[in-house]
Structure 1
Amino acid sequence: MSQISSRLGAERITALGSYTTLQPAADRAANALRSQGRSYLRRLFATDLILVGTACALPAVANSGPGQNYYLLAGVLLAAAWMISLRSFKTHALGNVAVGMAEYKSLAYASLAMAGSLGVLIGLSGLGTLRIFLLLTLPVGLASLLSNRWAWRQWLARRRRSGYALSHVLIYGQPADVPFAVRQISGKSGPAYRVVGVLLDGSADEQAEQEIRAADPTLPLAYGGGSLEHQVQALGADAVIVAGPLAGGNEALQHLGWSLESSGTKLIVASSLVGVASRRVRTSPLDGMPLLHVDLAKFSGARYLLKRGFDVLFSAAALLALAPVFLVIAAVIKLEGPGKVFFLQERAGQDGRPFKMFKFRTMGPDAEAKLAQLRERNDGAGPLFKLKDDPRITRCGHWLRKHSLDELPQFLNVLRGEMSVVGPRPPLFTEVAAYEGHAHRRLLLKPGVTGLWQVSGRSNLDWKESVRLDLYYAENWTVLSDARIIWRTFRVMIKPDGAY
């Protein structure tokens, strides 16, 4: 058995030892876990088949005359081809469901491929009667499929609270790589993966242990790759996620795959290429060695002209629509006491250019004068200054901050071209002065009224995670990702998380 970290004490040793004595029960548990994922995929397939079949039957239902049998036969053939297309695009494969946008994209691509094929068939054969399938069946079917997957995700989210997951994974790798993998998979994968244990490839590492314990103090943790198969069986894992390179190099990874074949345990390799969206990565094979082609991040071009156009339209519409809200908030601020309605603060914009950022005033008029004596009570991460119970905040200010209403005037900055609707967090120059490493890259884009930082916990995030989110956004944003962040912002404003 592997060398168990002495710092975890007898409790962990006892826990791991109990897995060995209860091996038959662990085997049954592992089989049960595998059946969970298979059962979910069968349910997805069944509901997709029902929805596709229903959509393909619509033309036959709409045409009750002599040609009904023709539409019925065409509908059956189209439904079969559609299901084959869904399978070809791996819409029913673990790893492609229940997490991220990949599932929805696969459904859309499979359906668009079906639409393209049907369009070619109509053009070549001249069967204009099939156009109803193109104009009615495919749009209705795709909308139904997307809604169905969303509904299944809600079901999974409810089941996840009781420990349900489609795949239970053991994370294996070197101490330098595993803690990040544990944090990301435990916190971001939703019901797709549940981490049931960690195996470190190397000697005891106190810092790695502390970081893993901070992410999940309940995880069994052991050392030594030689005990991998035992740990997989003992913990009931149905997959092994390899985080980063192994000490033995590529050969060790190949041998690991061979050792897992007999148990049917899936092998998942987490790329050491982090902070890069999948759309920027292409794979090409080279005699058994997959090559990853990574597109470099770009910070200019047509996409940014489109982003600016959206910013102007959105901010102008928001300012017009919110004008009554502005009047109400301004009146409440004035009624509470003396002072200006708006607070202007100098922030660092794109490429570090200074600009005055607009906010509704949420503090007393002497807030800046009191700042120095409050710095020792800082609750913020890194160079950020935040106080959960800041005595300078007014009564209405607490409510405005909680629901992010104090930030609405920033649409004026967007209209003026100093900010964007979505972007990195606008920093103070005192924060910029404390930047280390690559943190300055967050200044490559205009700061945003909202962003990944706001919809992912805001002040609850540590400094490192806040920087990581801003850098990821700056290098990987898309129009679709901006739309998703805006939608999530509305939800966060209603149910605040980390706003103070």
Structure 2
Amino acid sequence: MSEQVQPTRRRPVVGIVPTGTVQSPRQTHPPVAAWESRYRRGVILGDVLATILVVASFGGLMAARHSAFVPMSILTLEVLTVAVVLGSLYLSRVWNANVLGQGAEEFRRLGRGLFASVVALGFGALAVDIPGARLWVFVVGPAIALVVFPLRYLLRRPLHRARSEGRCLLPVLAAGNVATVGDLISRTRKATHLGWRVDAICTLDGRAALGIDLEGVPVVGRFRDLAEQVRRGGYRIVAVTPDAYWTPRRLQQLAWDLEGTGTEMVVAPALMDFAGPRLHVTGVLGMPLLRVSEPAFTGFRWAIKACVDRIGAIALILAFTPLLLLVSAAVMIDSRGPVFYRQRRVGKDGAEFTIVKFRTMVTNADALRTKLASVNEGSGVLFKMRKDPRVTKVGRLLRRYSVDELPQLLNVLSGTMSLVGPRPPLPEESAKYAPEVRRRLLVKPGLTGLWQVSGRSDLSWEESVRLDLRYVEDWSLALDALILWKTFRAVFGGQGAY
């Protein structure tokens, strides 16, 4: 990822195709950059090698420890397992270039593919009488997932680093009104890891094409010239943002015009701000409809989340027991007072509960807060100070790496909190919530969340609310897994923690 490799594009040509001009049936495909091919090959090779390595390792281990396995049966299981897993991943389109390196969809497809392979192997074990096959299926499947998921994330790191430096980006042609296109440009520049770079804009009348730009991006033509600009400019993505011009008939015609160009057409919904598993595209009487399902906070997926919370809390408590004992001793030595700090917080459906943390402040910290109200650096209803005089020396270190929050694993174990969710607010904070902000309370608060991996205390109140509401609206198991993985990086970096 260290080299600058971008798709070669000719400079967009501003103008209108004269009436009556017969366009060539030959379509110009935007060239695929070398980094794209290398990255996709690397992902496929990583999945294949990880699958073979795990299968071979467990095959040898189980053959040595279980007499039920014979060399021929183990070899058969190994070959079948590799074939079924890789075939399932292929059918689940986990190597589709459109999802590689961005968002939770890549991990969602990977999870579906691996789960489908376990189901297929399970049915095969029932049908074929191979000694030890059932045990094999339920051991090897999860083991492959434990290797493949972290490997995918590690492959993303150099790609995202390159994109933050302005490399490995896909050229985008945006078409919409000034406000919505400006918002798109702003978002793509903030979220460089998504790999979009808006290089040109088309507007309704194209009058800004005469040397005028938007956010530094030139306007190259009118909406009706869009398909021609794509052929000339070699853009990889056409992003259509809301504008009164875009009727269903015109969008359909644009999709037809882009066929064969190799350019992906992306349409931003104008009436909603939902994403994830709640959106379903259906066809009724030939009319495409975007169906938005009601957010569900019960059912099978939430039962899995509850199980993961309990099991994860127990595992983390056992793993961190030496650290917990060491921190307890440090807190007692550093300042007088109890080791733990207990505070009332608001949880699911507005129910209050007591949160448990390591004490990081002096014992009369709550009484001192009113005296510090005039120097509050927090936004909205939050109280935050970068150099809070109430924080002890040990407390400052604990806060930097979020170690003070580890006792909240007891709250997760008791069921009042989850491993992932919105930030648990204070009662006086939730009392000031607007009706839409109270939607944060539809789910259990979390030990970590989107706010934790997106800046923590550096976030504005509005941004913190937006992230929490996005989690409530778009929750999925894949999103939880991604947040947990990113939490380790955010915690060890100490960014936004004070």
More displaced 10-residue stretch of structure 1: 354-363 or 44-53? 44-53
Q: 1:439 maps to which residue? A: 437
SS in 1 for 2:452: helix
Q: 2:175 maps to which residue? A: 172
Question: Does residue 422 of the first structure (1) align with residue 424 of the second (2)?
Answer: no
Matching of residues 32-47 of structure 1 within 5 Å:
36-38=35-37, 40-41=39-40
Question: Does residue 97 of the first structure (1) align with residue 97 of the second (2)?
Answer: no
Matching of residues 142-157 of structure 1 within 5 Å:
149-150=152-153, 152-157=155-160
Question: Does residue 160 of the first structure (1) align with residue 163 of the second (2)?
Answer: yes
Shift of 1:87: 5.1
Match among 243, 246, 269 for residue 241 of structure 2: 243
For residues 25-72 of structure 1, the C-alpha deviation after alignment (integer angstroms, 9 at most, x for no partner) is xxxxx95565654564466567777888999999xx9xxxxx99xx99
SS in 1 for 2:451: helix
CA contact (8 A) 1:99 1:189 kept: no
Match among 361, 370, 383 for residue 359 of structure 2: 361
Q: 1:193 maps to which residue? A: 195
Question: Does residue 253 of the first structure (1) align with residue 251 of the second (2)?
Answer: yes
Output the aligned Cα RMSD.
Answer: 4.8
Pair 1:275–1:448, CA change in 2 (3 A): farther
Match among 469, 473, 481 for residue 467 of structure 2: 469
Q: 2:492 maps to which residue? A: 494
1:412 maps to a residue whose letter is L
Pair 1:245–1:119, CA change in 2 (3 A): farther
Once residues 314 and 148 of structure 1 are traced to their aligned partners in structure 2, the CA distance between those partners, rounded to angstroms, is 21
Once residues 314 and 142 of structure 1 are traced to their aligned partners in structure 2, the CA distance between those partners, rounded to angstroms, is 17
SS in 2 for 1:283: strand
CA contact (8 A) 2:360 2:399 kept: yes
Once residues 103 and 41 of structure 1 are traced to their aligned partners in structure 2, the CA distance between those partners, rounded to angstroms, is 12
SS in 2 for 1:408: helix
Shift of 1:20: 5.8
Q: 1:374 maps to which residue? A: 372
More displaced 10-residue stretch of structure 1: 343-352 or 83-92? 83-92
* Structure 1 spans left out of the alignment, 5+ residues: 1-17, 22-29, 62-66, 205-211
Once residues 458 and 155 of structure 2 are traced to their aligned partners in structure 1, the CA distance between those partners, rounded to angstroms, is 29
Once residues 152 and 421 of structure 1 are traced to their aligned partners in structure 2, the CA distance between those partners, rounded to angstroms, is 25
Shift of 1:402: 0.7
Once residues 353 and 85 of structure 2 are traced to their aligned partners in structure 1, the CA distance between those partners, rounded to angstroms, is 53
2:375 maps to a residue whose letter is R
Q: 2:67 maps to which residue? A: none
Q: 1:292 maps to which residue? A: 290
How many equivalent residue pairs? 456
Shift of 1:236: 5.8
CA contact (8 A) 2:104 2:479 kept: no
2:251 maps to a residue whose letter is L
CA contact (8 A) 1:174 1:247 kept: no
Once residues 349 and 51 of structure 1 are traced to their aligned partners in structure 2, the CA distance between those partners, rounded to angstroms, is 41
Pair 1:290–1:408, CA change in 2 (3 A): same
Once residues 165 and 438 of structure 1 are traced to their aligned partners in structure 2, the CA distance between those partners, rounded to angstroms, is 38
SS in 2 for 1:469: helix
CA contact (8 A) 1:174 1:201 kept: yes
For residues 249-299 of structure 1, the C-alpha deviation after alignment (integer angstroms, 9 at most, x for no partner) is 223323433454575432122345766453333333346533333331123
CA contact (8 A) 1:359 1:406 kept: yes
CA contact (8 A) 1:33 1:167 kept: no
For residues 155-207 of structure 1, the C-alpha deviation after alignment (integer angstroms, 9 at most, x for no partner) is 423433443336222333345544554455444462x5222346375799xxx
Pair 1:159–1:345, CA change in 2 (3 A): same
1:400 maps to a residue whose letter is L
Once residues 90 and 312 of structure 1 are traced to their aligned partners in structure 2, the CA distance between those partners, rounded to angstroms, is 32
Shift of 1:303: 4.8
SS in 2 for 1:470: helix
Pair 1:403–1:248, CA change in 2 (3 A): same
Q: Percent identity?
A: 35
Q: 1:10 maps to which residue? A: none
CA contact (8 A) 1:362 1:393 kept: yes
2:106 maps to a residue whose letter is E
Shift of 1:438: 1.0
Matching of residues 319-334 of structure 1 within 5 Å:
319=317, 321-334=319-332
More displaced 10-residue stretch of structure 1: 435-444 or 485-494? 485-494
Shift of 1:498: 1.2
Match among 396, 399, 417 for residue 398 of structure 1: 396
Shift of 1:242: 1.9
Once residues 327 and 53 of structure 2 are traced to their aligned partners in structure 1, the CA distance between those partners, rounded to angstroms, is 50
Q: 2:387 maps to which residue? A: 389
Q: 1:336 maps to which residue? A: 334
Question: Does residue 266 of the first structure (1) align with residue 268 of the second (2)?
Answer: no
More displaced 10-residue stretch of structure 1: 293-302 or 35-44? 35-44
Once residues 144 and 329 of structure 1 are traced to their aligned partners in structure 2, the CA distance between those partners, rounded to angstroms, is 32
Matching of residues 200-239 of structure 1 within 5 Å:
201=203, 225=223, 228=226, 237-239=235-237
CA contact (8 A) 1:104 1:146 kept: yes
More displaced 10-residue stretch of structure 1: 405-414 or 450-459? 405-414
CA contact (8 A) 2:416 2:444 kept: yes
As a proportion of its length, which structure holds more helix?
A: 1
* Structure 2 spans left out of the alignment, 5+ residues: 1-10, 15-28, 61-70, 207-212
More displaced 10-residue stretch of structure 1: 345-354 or 363-372? 363-372
1:168 maps to a residue whose letter is P
Pair 1:179–1:463, CA change in 2 (3 A): farther
1:485 maps to a residue whose letter is I
For residues 332-376 of structure 1, the C-alpha deviation after alignment (integer angstroms, 9 at most, x for no partner) is 233333344333333222222333322222223443344344334
CA contact (8 A) 1:196 1:220 kept: no
Once residues 468 and 84 of structure 1 are traced to their aligned partners in structure 2, the CA distance between those partners, rounded to angstroms, is 39
Once residues 246 and 384 of structure 2 are traced to their aligned partners in structure 1, the CA distance between those partners, rounded to angstroms, is 45
CA contact (8 A) 1:419 1:448 kept: yes
Once residues 309 and 333 of structure 1 are traced to their aligned partners in structure 2, the CA distance between those partners, rounded to angstroms, is 32
For residues 351-406 of structure 1, the C-alpha deviation after alignment (integer angstroms, 9 at most, x for no partner) is 22333322222223443344344334333232222222223322222111111112
Bigger RCO of structures 1 and 2 (CA < 8 A, at least 6 apart): 2
Once residues 444 and 224 of structure 2 are traced to their aligned partners in structure 1, the CA distance between those partners, rounded to angstroms, is 50
For residues 396-421 of structure 1, the C-alpha deviation after alignment (integer angstroms, 9 at most, x for no partner) is 22111111112222233334443233
Once residues 51 and 337 of structure 2 are traced to their aligned partners in structure 1, the CA distance between those partners, rounded to angstroms, is 61
SS in 2 for 1:492: helix
Once residues 407 and 157 of structure 1 are traced to their aligned partners in structure 2, the CA distance between those partners, rounded to angstroms, is 29
